[in-house]
């Protein structure tokens, strides 16, 4: 544990001690793809945990031991149901009993790509109703620099409690990577930046007991900015290879082979891979939090906005490539039977947030295609904020494949038998280079 940087009063000292000896009670607000892995890490560290969510169906599932996030595993959910150290609840007054409250709620974009902080503000207002002396509040949701200090703190200060003396406020961004082996919440280093040294000290005391490594920064704003940098770095590099894919395809060059060749260089290069568009709750959204904040500060982010334009154009490029491939088979896209393989935003998970598959399916339907999909992890296409698709996953077998004019691979789940696709499909449009795993494909394969 690093030396303390702030001078603590008795309220702070008592909370710091409870966090260090893990007798403090921790509440997690938002029991989704970020909140539940955090619950698991807190429980594993020995903390008693409250799980708060407004969605009664999630609370019922947790009380009944029913899984609703695939990659966490059924054992995790069944273990929660019988654990007297975990209390799932929809009653916000239960938050008053917590010593630390961690906010893990969505931060989507509005219709004009402006930050939508309604979930963060709503959660903060709820916490303010029960805030008491000796509590730590931490925001984990991705947001623009200044949110913790300028948006949350005034709401909590309105209770009459003093930040840094009566209650403590910090920002520690989530770094979840769903479905990736070895990257559990407890294994990923944690950034911690508070509103003042004492708040940072207390937040560090919490996370040091939960994760393998913590990194202290000088302010909440630094931590907020670092999280945005992490995701902007990926968004910009993915945009670069997506643009390169379009350029090289026009030259008859395979971008996947080019990336593999460049990857042989042992320094100065990191491989990024093209795809049908960006998905997940971070990379398609977070860069625009900074572009909005930059405009408010009177500056521009041309590089980030250009990357956004390239990435958001990829679903249209995929549909155009699919239409062109069908034309080569002398088949109109209007009336063509197209099977989409994989609708999750990344492989081997059941997360469909911001998945480009939704826009691609809707574009295909608009052009008159008869669309079906197969995804081993998503049985029914869920309702999304911007999309409403009434489809259920079909069985993947030889008969299904032979009945399609085109198979369009959008997510390369490991559970899919691509050799079966190679043997029985007529035409495959592959956005993930998944067919490179097969041999002697009878299908005509078009990379997109």
Instruction: Based on the fold, state whether residues 427 and 287 are members of the same structural domain.
Output: yes
Phi, psi of 279 (to 5 degrees): -140, 175
Residue 7, SS3? coil
Instruction: Based on the fold, state whether residues 124 and 206 are members of the same structural domain.
Output: yes
Instruction: Based on the fold, state whether residues 287 and 434 are members of the same structural domain.
Output: yes
Q: Per-residue pLDDT for 180 more than 80?
A: no
Instruction: Based on the fold, state whether residues 157 and 260 are members of the same structural domain.
Output: no
Confidence grade of residue 70 (pLDDT, cut at 50, 70, 90)? confident
Bridge partners, 65 (sequence order): none
Element (H, E) at 427: strand 427-430
Q: Is residue 15 part of a domain?
A: yes
- Strand 190-194 vs strand 167-171: parallel, antiparallel, or unpaired? antiparallel
Q: Is residue 229 part of a domain?
A: no
d(CA 419, CA 22): 51
Task: DSSP letter for 282, please.
Answer: S
| pLDDT for res 276 | 95
d(CA 187, CA 212): 5
Q: Per-residue pLDDT for 183 more than 80?
A: no
DSSP 32-54: STTHHHHHHHHHHTT--EEEE-S
Q: Per-residue pLDDT for 336 more than 90?
A: yes
Residue 445, SS3? strand
Residue 90 is among the residues annotated as catalytic for this protein: no
| pLDDT for res 2 | 64
Instruction: Based on the fold, state whether residues 185 and 262 are members of the same structural domain.
Output: no
Quick: pLDDT tens for 390-415.
999 999 999 999 999 999 999 999 99
Domain endpoint, select from 218, 235, 270? 218
Q: Is residue 309 part of a domain?
A: yes
The answer to whether the beta carbons of residues 40 and 61 sit under 8 Å apart is no
How many other C-beta atoms are found inside a 10 Å radius of the C-beta of residue 141? Answer: 23
Q: Is residue 19 part of a domain?
A: yes
DSSP 126-178: HHHHH--TTEEEEE-S---TTIIIIIIHHHHHTTTPPBTTTEEEEE------T
Confidence grade of residue 111 (pLDDT, cut at 50, 70, 90)? confident
pTM score of the predicted model: 0.92
Domain endpoint, select from 218, 240, 275? 218
Instruction: Based on the fold, state whether residues 69 and 210 are members of the same structural domain.
Output: yes
For tokens 């097969």, what's the residue?
438
| pLDDT for res 288 | 87
Sequence-separated (6 or more) residues with CB below 8 Å from residue 168 = 12, 15, 135, 136, 137, 194, 195, 198, 199, 202, 203
Q: Is residue 234 part of a domain?
A: no
Q: Is residue 244 part of a domain?
A: no
Element (H, E) at 402: helix 398-402
Confidence grade of residue 359 (pLDDT, cut at 50, 70, 90)? very high
More confident residue, 63 or 282: 63
d(CA 195, CA 218): 9
Average pLDDT score over residue span 170-176: 94
d(CA 440, CA 371): 27
Q: Is residue 391 part of a domain?
A: yes
Instruction: Based on the fold, state whether residues 261 and 203 are members of the same structural domain.
Output: no
Domain endpoint, select from 218, 234, 269? 218
Per-residue CA distances from 99 to 151, 296, 388 (Å) = 22, 35, 40
Confidence grade of residue 1 (pLDDT, cut at 50, 70, 90)? low
The answer to whether the beta carbons of residues 119 and 110 sit under 8 Å apart is no
| pLDDT for res 113 | 82
Number of compact structural domains in the chain: 2
Instruction: Based on the fold, state whether residues 214 and 285 are members of the same structural domain.
Output: no
The count of C-alpha atoms lying within 13 angstroms of the C-alpha of 308, restricted to the half-sphere facing its C-beta, is: 19
More confident residue, 336 or 80: 336
Domain of 35 in residue numbering reads as: 10-218
Instruction: Based on the fold, state whether residues 313 and 436 are members of the same structural domain.
Output: yes
| pLDDT for res 397 | 97
Which position among 90, 104, 163, 282 bears the catalytic label? 282
Instruction: Based on the fold, state whether residues 287 and 188 are members of the same structural domain.
Output: no
d(CA 346, CA 410): 9
Q: Per-residue pLDDT for 283 more than 90?
A: no
Closest CA to 408 of 312, 317, 322: 322
Instruction: Based on the fold, state whether residues 430 and 307 are members of the same structural domain.
Output: yes
Provide the mean pLDDT of the chain. Answer: 94
d(CA 37, CA 185): 6
CATH of the domain at 105: 3.40.50.720
Average pLDDT score over residue span 183-205: 94
d(CA 157, CA 205): 23
Instruction: Based on the fold, state whether residues 214 and 279 are members of the same structural domain.
Output: no
Angle between helices 302-328 and 356-366 (to 10 degrees): 40
Q: Is residue 238 part of a domain?
A: no
| pLDDT for res 440 | 85
């Amino acid at each position: 544990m690093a030396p303390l940087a702030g001078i603590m009063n008795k309220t702070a000292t008592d909370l710091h001690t409870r966090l260090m000896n893990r007798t403090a009670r921790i509440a997690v607000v938002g029991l989704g793809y970020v909140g539940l892995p955090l619950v698991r890490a807190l429980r594993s560290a020995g903390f008693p945990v409250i799980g708060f969510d407004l969605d009664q169906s999630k609370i019922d599932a947790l009380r009944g031991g029913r899984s609703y996030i695939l990659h966490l595993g059924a054992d995790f959910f069944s273990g929660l149901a019988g654990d007297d150290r975990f209390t799932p609840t929809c009653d916000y007054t239960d938050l008053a009993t917590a010593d630390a409250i961690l906010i893990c709620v969505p931060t989507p974009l509005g219709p004009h790509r402006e930050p939508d902080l309604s979930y963060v503000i709503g959660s903060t207002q709820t916490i303010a109703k029960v805030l008491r002396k000796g509590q730590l509040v931490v925001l984990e949701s991705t947001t623009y620099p200044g949110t913790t200090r300028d948006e949350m703190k005034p709401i909590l200060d309105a209770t009459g409690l003093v930040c840094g003396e009566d209650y403590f406020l910090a920002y520690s961004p989530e770094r979840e990577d769903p479905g990736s082996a070895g990257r559990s919440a407890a294994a990923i280093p944690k950034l911690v930046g508070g509103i003042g040294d004492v708040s940072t000290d207390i937040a560090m005391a919490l996370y040091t007991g939960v994760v393998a490594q913590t990194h202290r920064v000088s302010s909440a704003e630094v931590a907020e900015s670092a999280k945005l940098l992490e995701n902007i770095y990926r968004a910009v590099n993915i945009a670069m290879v997506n643009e390169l894919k379009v350029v090289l395809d026009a030259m008859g060059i395979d971008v996947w082979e080019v990336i593999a060749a460049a990857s042989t260089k042992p320094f100065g290069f990191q491989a990024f891979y093209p795809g049908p568009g960006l998905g997940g709750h971070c990379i398609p959204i977070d860069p625009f939090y900074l572009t909005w904040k930059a405009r408010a500060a009177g500056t521009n982010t041309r590089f980030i906005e250009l990357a956004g334009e390239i990435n958001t154009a990829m679903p249209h490029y995929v549909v155009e490539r699919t239409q062109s491939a069908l034309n080569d088979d002398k088949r109109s896209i209007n009336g063509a039977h197209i099977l989409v393989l994989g609708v999750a935003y990344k492989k081997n998970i059941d997360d469909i947030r911001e998945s480009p598959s939704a826009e691609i399916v809707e574009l295909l339907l608009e052009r008159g295609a008869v669309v079906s999909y197969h995804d081993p992890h998503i049985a029914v296409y869920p309702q999304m904020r911007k999309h409403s698709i009434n489809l259920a996953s079909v069985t993947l077998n030889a008969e299904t494949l032979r009945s399609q004019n085109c198979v369009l691979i959008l997510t390369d789940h490991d559970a899919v038998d691509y050799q079966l696709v190679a043997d029985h499909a007529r035409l495959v449009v592959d956005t993930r280079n998944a067919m490179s795993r097969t041999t002697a494909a009878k299908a005509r394969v078009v990379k997109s």
